[in-house]
Amino acid sequence: MKQSIQEKLFETVQVGAWNLRTRTAMAPMTRCFADDQTGVVGQDVVEYYRKRAADGIGLIITEGTVISPRGKGNPRVPGLYTAEQMTAWKKVTDAVHSEGGTIIAQIWHVGRLTHHELAGGLPPQAPSSVQKEGLVHRLRKPYDLPEEMSIEEIHEVVRQYAQAAKNAIIAGFDGVEIHGAHGYLIDQFNSDLTNKRTDRYGGEFAQRLTFMKEVLTAVIDAIGAERTLIRFSIMAGGYTNTVLKDPEQAIRTFTDAFKEVGVKMIHPSTMEFQQVLADGKTLHQLVRKYWDGVIIGVGHLNPEIAEQALREGTIDIAAFGRPLLANPDFLHRIKNGQELIEYDVNKHLSTLV
């Protein structure tokens, strides 16, 4: 049996408030296994996360967990805004902690990417009334025309993010990741395609980051910077916009904003970790140029690519997604040189292994 050579991957590391057993993370992946009416997770979800903790994953980041009924964009996604939801999540966090693991909740608002049937009978919320083309994921109905958020509604959603973070701690989570990537609400404020506002939340790119900064400030005030992670993307959910015209400048603008509000840990998100963006550098290499805090790397990583990036100092933690869906014993297999089970979209999207 071939022994693993991923020495860096298996190091212990202190990240924020978390003492991690390995430099690995379970990337957030939408699973849609909660009760559709209540947003409450069940015992199958408890066992799903417990298995990954038992395998030694350093940091488990949950599936996107919505902060309000109006933030919901898929059937059967969990929430973190009711007592019943918090009680159910406590079973998950207890199970993970019983295995020596660390788990944080990814808190989420989809903004315009929803339908009134999912969002409590109300129109989607968005920075501007710009409708998304296509069909809502899983629901398979056209996206609704969103309502432009008033200043009061923006402030209320910021409060909802902060309350969800507090609820996460009450539910036993070790912290939160704010989902600020891939075309959801925060990303909609960041993008010029979806943000047409002329007030303080619109304008040039740096000014469009105002909503994100207010959310970060509120969450950090609620639970501390050492327990707060932000996931962001310069791709704006796959759109081609002004951010992409100068990726390095966009990254510098993001990192300046993070430093301004006291962020310590970031999760730059891309589908392809090795994709070169500018000056011969990848997203994470460009981010490292301007950021000396914690970076979580993600994007179709395999153990070899992750090990190299860790050794180079490009990232501090390597996040894996689909391999962890197919292999609850992912790290055990790597450490012992065993073959990984290949991800099967038909099997692993429809079941919790």
**Strand partners of residue 295:** 266
Q: Is 100 left (phi over 0), alpha (psi -120 to 50) or beta?
A: left
Distance CA 107, CA 95 (A): 20
Tokens (6 digits) for 135: 């069909």
Tokens (6 digits) for 259: 């430093």
Distance CA 58, CA 330 (A): 12
For the beta carbon of residue 3, count every other beta carbon within 10 angstroms.
7
Closest C-alpha to 324, from 303, 308, 305: 303
Q: Position 155: which residue type?
A: H
Question: Catalytic pick from 81, 161, 184, 201?
Answer: 184
β-strands 265-268, 276-278 pairing: unpaired
Distance CA 16, CA 235 (A): 27
Query: Is 184 a known active-site residue?
Result: yes
Beta carbons of 130 and 34 less than 8 angstroms apart: no
Closest C-alpha to 230, from 188, 176, 283: 176
Would you name the residues annotated as active-site residues? 184
